[in-house]
Chain A
Amino acid sequence: MSESQVSTTAESLDRVSDAGDGRATSPSPARRRPRRRKASWRERVEISLLSGPAIIIFLTFVILPVGMAAYYGFFDWHGYGPATDFVGLRNYKVILSDPEFRAAVRHNAEIVVLSLLIQGPIAVLLALLLNRKMRGRSLIRVLVFAPWVVSEVIAGTGWSLMLPVQGAVNALLTKMQIFGEVKIDWLGNPDLALWTLMGILTWKYIGFAVILLMAGLQNIPEELSEAAGVDGASYWQIQRHITLPLLGPTIRIWAFLSIIGALQLFDLVYIIWGQYVAGVAGTSTMATYMVLNGRNAGNYGYGNAVAVVIFLISLIVALGYQRFVLRRDMVGALTEGA
């Protein structure tokens, strides 16, 4: 059997299972197969050999650091020698009463909400658009995804060169001769900077949302919209009443990832607004606050405490989201299966 044959078999097998069981696949590993006998000795060796490396690396470099942060967060510690100066909850009291941190939290909250409100509708429309059969579709796709593939550093460097008062954006707007000579301070004006940041974030991450949604669209059987089309439904009726509801689970997964990403936002702000300007311009985030007051200030105990606060906030938001939003998907899966 040649390699190409194998891969086409694989694809078609995927499709068979797509068509067969629809949704229940990912969240519930246990349901798929009846429970077999207890794992034999040989199986146990295989399990540990195959999953061992992943577990070790994951525990060491992902879980352990979070635990370490919780430990060091209780110390006044500047990174030299062992941490001995136990200060209890003092770091946390300082963080929570620092107006700069509160401002950062507020910015993060605004970014979370605005990301969902701005990117969500645009991404759905773009995914529907790119899902249509049209000439040059694959080229259009690649171009729309390009900003997502470009690194934050490059995007940040590019935008910070384009957005100054004397930069290319204002020059371009001036050239259009609609607004006269444009001298907008996109980055420095505190009333505007957050919106500038939202524009850049939308530009940068819309491609990811579109990719996810297009992947979700692939799982919606064409037969449904075909049938609706035969029954006389218009294109927009089909999207509104068939595609969109079926795309719901994908949209909710994207929203989850977007929320988590917005809470952790660092790179673009740090690069475009630098270490010190972000606070003044009103674009500082919890993560830039952490790097500025932790590592850059050599105050590692404090930085770790900030990390713990960010983690707890993200965890509460994530668990709340899973509890109240994602749960609906599982309920749907159960009732549909019945």
Chain B
Amino acid sequence: MASAVLDTPRRQRKRPKSSVGWGSPATYFVALVVIALTIAPIVYIVLGGFRTNSQITVDPAGMPHPWVWSNYTGVLTSSTFWTEFGNSTLVAGVTTIGVVVIGLMASYVLARYQFRGRGFMFALFSAGLMFPITVAITPLFLLLKDLGLLNSPVGVILPQVGFALPTTIIILVPFLRAIPREIEEAATVDGCGRIAFFFRMVVPLSLPGVLTVGILAFVASWNSYLLPLFILSDPHTFTLPLGVQVFSSQYSTDTAKVLAFTSLSMLPALLFFTAFERRIVGGLSGAVKG
């Protein structure tokens, strides 16, 4: 009930002027220009897949005329694309689950337990933001070689989970800390242990934050290039970004086909992100409070 009362004033009250006031057409004009600039390259890639190579050579900036489907059907019926699609899905899926589960557990400890070394632990994970994968990639390759994890999805998943943990923890800790003490005390009175409290209350209550870190981890993994480039050399284990690069150098003369392959491989991340875009902004606001 309290929630309903708190919700209404913030949601329904409008700023007195902004929706009607200052130059609405100008706002739309700026928005349109920005959109044109941001999506033009993407549109070029997608439309280019519907053209033939001669169309592209003769008029690089033209529309498909006539529309050609064979590039897309060619890619969609090739086993290379689907193998790489499957690899990417597997790697991104397991990475996401791993980051969310492991990150949520660690964030719970950092947010709601008192123990010596907690400040240090938080600082250690935050410092991870300064260790992007670029710096660690050469030794990481050597480490994974020693562990026998080259050419294995596990060799990509584990480091990806590790490198996603700092962001995850920084986003989730404020969420978990915001769960009022009273709820936990009430749960304890009702005979609910800390672990049960974790599963029954913390997990559902931190859902917005969990969705945010999950989406960020998925998109990052789906797009990741440097790590697979070092770890995966067997074409059967390639993820889509590697596939796109190999494909584009292999068929460097068949631009239309490269564009079709490229646009199909960006689709999943785009759809995924579009579906959850609102959640991301909401979920991040806890972390950027300053």
Contact = CB atoms under 8 A, between A and B. Distances in A.
Interface of A: 3, 6-18, 22-23, 25-26, 29-30, 32-33, 35-36, 39, 43-44, 46-47, 50-51, 53-55, 57-58, 60-66, 68-69, 72, 79, 126, 129-130, 132-134, 138, 140-147, 149-155, 157-159, 161-162, 166-172, 175, 203, 206-207, 211-212, 214-216, 218-219, 222, 225-226, 229-230, 234-235, 248-250, 252-253, 257, 260-261, 264, 266-267, 271, 287, 290-291, 294-295, 300, 303-304, 307, 310-311, 314-315, 318, 329, 333
Contacts of A311: 131, 135
Contacts of A229: 15-17
Given A39-B115, A65-B140, A171-B59, A203 B181 contact: no
A258 B122 CA distance: 22
B138 A290 contact: yes
A235 B241 contact: no
A219 to B, nearest CB: 5
Given A149-B269, A168-B44, A264 B28 contact: no
Contacts of B206: 10
A29 B207 contact: no
Residue of B34, B226, B290 with highest tally of chain A CB at under 10 A: B290
B113 A219 contact: no
Contacts of A23: 289-290
B288 A215 contact: yes
A57 B162 contact: yes
A170 B163 CA distance: 40
Residue of A72, A142, A153 with highest tally of chain B CB at under 10 A: A153
Contacts of A8: 3, 7
Residue of A141, A161, A235, A304 with highest tally of chain B CB at under 10 A: A161
11 contacts: A25-B177, A51-B109, A129-B30, A133-B14, A140-B31, A146-B39, A151-B223, A151-B244, A222-B15, A249-B289, A307-B134
B136 interface: yes
Query: Chain B interface secondary structure, helix, strand, loop or mixed?
Result: helix
B42 A158 contact: yes
Closest 7 CB pairs of A and B: A249-B290, A151-B223, A54-B106, A61-B162, A12-B3, A215-B284, A68-B139
Residue of B114, B163, B280 with highest tally of chain A CB at under 10 A: B114
Nearest to A304: B138
Interface stretch (B66-74, B75-83, B270-278): B270-278
Interface string B1-31: 0110011001001111111011010011011
Residue of A10, A264, A314 with highest tally of chain B CB at under 10 A: A10
Nearest to B242: A153
B131 A142 contact: no
B225 A267 contact: yes
Nearest to A139: B35
Nearest to B35: A143
Contact of B42 (A146, A234, A315): A146
Residue of B30, B38, B240, B269 with highest tally of chain A CB at under 10 A: B38
Given A53-B105, A142-B274, A235-B21, A79 B15 contact: no
Contacts of A150: 42, 223, 266, 269-270
B236 interface: no
Interface residues of B, number: 127
B248 A219 contact: no
A155 B158 contact: no
Contacts of B222: 151
Interface of B: 2-3, 6-7, 10, 13-19, 21-22, 24, 27-28, 30-31, 34-35, 37-39, 41-42, 44-45, 48, 57, 59-62, 102-103, 105-106, 108-111, 113-116, 118-119, 121-122, 124-125, 128-132, 134-143, 158-159, 161-163, 165, 169-170, 173-175, 177-181, 194-195, 198, 204-208, 219, 222-226, 230, 240-242, 244-245, 248, 255, 258-259, 262, 265-266, 269-270, 273-274, 277-278, 280-290
Contact of B115 (A47, A57, A132): A47
A62 B41 contact: no
Given A39-B113, A61-B159, A161 B290 contact: no
B109 to A, nearest CB: 4
Nearest to A254: B288
A17 B178 contact: yes
Contacts of B141: 295
A46 B202 CA distance: 15
Contacts of A211: 280-281, 284
Contacts of A140: 31, 35
Contacts of A151: 222-225, 240-241, 244, 265-266, 269
A203 to B, nearest CB: 7
B131 A66 contact: yes
Nearest to B116: A39
Nearest to A250: B288
A133 B19 contact: yes
Contacts of B41: 147, 155, 158-159, 162, 203
